[in-house]
Amino acid sequence: MLDVAAVMQRYRIRDRRAARRLMDDAGGFLVAGRLVVRWDDLEAFEHRQREARSRASDGEGARSAARSIAAIRRPSPPKKPLTPGWWRT
């Protein structure tokens, strides 16, 4: 089991939040209030990441990867401006 400090050292991450986010993505869980991740889960996560990158670079998954990135970066629709005195209604 690896804790946040061990993950930070393994990936040379300086930001604890980034390490915690990576651990959450890899399947981390809390033990006595501390976030930990199993070694095997972290290895499996790395393997999935490598496969996804190789598929995207081969062009096989590039289109679906581009769609998912576009969906993430899609701006929200414009909001209508509030009318004057909106708080009184």
Q: How many Å apart are CA 68 and CA 47, to the nearest integer? A: 20
Buried b (16+ CB within 10 A) or exposed e, 36-49: bbeeebbeebeeee
> Phi and psi for 36 in degrees, rounded to 5?
-135, 160
Which pLDDT band, with edges at 50, 70 and 90, does 67 fall under? low
Q: Where are the domains of the chain?
A: 2-61
Cβ neighbors of 38 (< 8 A, separation 6 or more) are: 1, 2, 27
Q: What is the pTM of this model?
A: 0.60
Average pLDDT of 42-47? 91
Which pLDDT band, with edges at 50, 70 and 90, does 79 fall under? confident
Residue 4: pLDDT over 90: yes
Helix H or strand E segment including 37: strand 34-37
